[in-house]
Amino acid sequence: MDRLHLRELLDGVRTGSVDVEEGLRRLASMPFEDVDVARIDTHRDLRCGFGEVVFGQGKTQDEVVRISRAILERDERLLVTRIDADCAKALATAFPRGEHHERARCFTVGLPPHGGGKGDVLILTAGTSDAPVAEEAEITARMMGARTELLRDMGVAGVHRALAEVERLRAATALVVVAGMEGALASLVGGLVSAPVIAVPTSVGYGSSFGGLAALLAMLNSCAAGVTVVNIDNGFGAGAAAARMNRVRTESSDPFPCTTP
């Protein structure tokens, strides 16, 4: 239950359109609901601006479906990350109105259309091989209410490709830069824009990249001041951070706005 729905419920009880017992029933599961395999945090939207996200990796198909069903009983939106093909099929069977994003390894219900949302979160990839992580970041930010755009193949091996988009980069409210290999694109972008830059190292690269460690260390040591770095391949974390930053820059000073994204 988010802040808007809670306000509607309380207003309904106050005006008499919602019976007190019904109000108690709907509030009974707060602040969490125990569904045996997990405890659903039903207050997360109230605290953080977006409901709980399901991390699919390591869970059985039945567990993911049960947790997702419990979330959808109280929310119109669902984001499940890091799922395999079999889990995606189980989710699609259980929730036909949902959508499987194969490359991003995500499943969503209620994903806003492209061009919707607020602000202007820009996601850049250094190479096409970074796309799975970048798409996870884009879907996450869009689910959290941001208007997003994904620019692919902007790596520094052809730096003119990024320089040609300078005005577009500077118009963004937040940027996510996804890069493997030596991870240099984050420093380049960080030196060109005033908006927050979230760098995502990926495990793309040859042997000496050590599964993304080389890119991670390069981004942590960026000479561009203020670049924020998330963990290797953590597109979800980057998308969530960008959406939060975007919200601060586009909404009122109220940290808990009463309108949904």
Mean pLDDT of 165-184: 93
C-alpha distances out from residue 158 to 112, 122, 185, 238, Å:
33, 19, 11, 24
Mean pLDDT of 158-172: 90
Q: What is the distance between the terminal CA atoms of the chain, rounded to a whole angstrom?
A: 14
Segment 192-202, tens digit of pLDDT:
999 999 999 99
Structural domain for 39, as ranges: 31-109
CA nearest neighbour of 187 among 158, 230, 220: 220
Q: Say if 228 falls within a structural domain.
A: yes
Q: Residue 86, class by beta-carbon neighbours within 10 Å (0-12 exposed, 13-18 middle, 19+ buried)?
A: exposed
Residues 210, 154: one domain? yes
Segment 22-41, tens digit of pLDDT:
776 666 556 766 667 777 77
Residues 103, 207: one domain? no
Last residue of a domain, one of 74, 109, 144: 109
pLDDT of 173 over the 80 cut: yes
Residues 105, 128: one domain? no
Residues 62, 163: one domain? no
* Size of the chain, expressed as the number of residues it contains: 261
Comparison of pLDDT for 93 and 12, the residue scoring more:
93
Comparison of pLDDT for 147 and 7, the residue scoring more:
147
What amino acid occupies position 90? A
- Predicted structure pTM score: 0.82
**How many domains does the structure of the chain reveal?**
2
Residues 227, 141: one domain? yes
Quickly tell me which residue has 């991870």 as its tokens. Answer: 183
Segment 72-122, tens digit of pLDDT:
888 888 999 999 999 999 999 999 999 999 999 999 999 999 888 899 999
Residues 55, 122: one domain? no
Question: Which 3-state string (H, E, C) describes the chain?
Answer: CCHHHHHHHHHHHHHCCCCHHHHHHHHCCCCEEECCCCEEECCHHHHHCCCCCEECCCCCHHHHHHHHHHHHCCCCCEEEECCCHHHHHHHHHHCCCCEEECCCCEEEECCCCCCCCEEEEEEEECCHHHHHHHHHHHHHHHHCCEEEEEECCCCHHHCHHHHCCHHHHHCCCEEEEEECCCCCHHHHHHCCCCCCEEEEECCCCCHHHHHHHHHHHHHHCCCCCCCEECCCCCHHHHHHHHHHHHHHHHCCCCCCCCCCC
Query: Cis link prior to 31 (omega < 30° from 0)?
Result: yes
Residues 96, 124: one domain? no
**CA torsion, points 225, 230, 233, 239, in degrees to nearest 10?**
-100
Segment 213-234, tens digit of pLDDT:
999 999 999 999 989 999 999 9
Last residue of a domain, one of 109, 132, 162: 109
Residues 245, 178: one domain? yes
What pLDDT sits at residue 164? 86
What integer best gives the mean pLDDT of the chain? Answer: 87
pLDDT bucket at 257, cuts 50 / 70 / 90: very low
pLDDT of 253 over the 50 cut: no
Q: Say if 192 falls within a structural domain.
A: yes
Last residue of a domain, one of 78, 109, 140: 109
Q: Say if 255 falls within a structural domain.
A: no
Residues 78, 161: one domain? no
What pLDDT sits at residue 255? 44
Q: Say if 256 falls within a structural domain.
A: no
Residues 50, 142: one domain? no
Q: Say if 173 falls within a structural domain.
A: yes
Phi then psi for residue 135, to 5 deg, are -70, -35
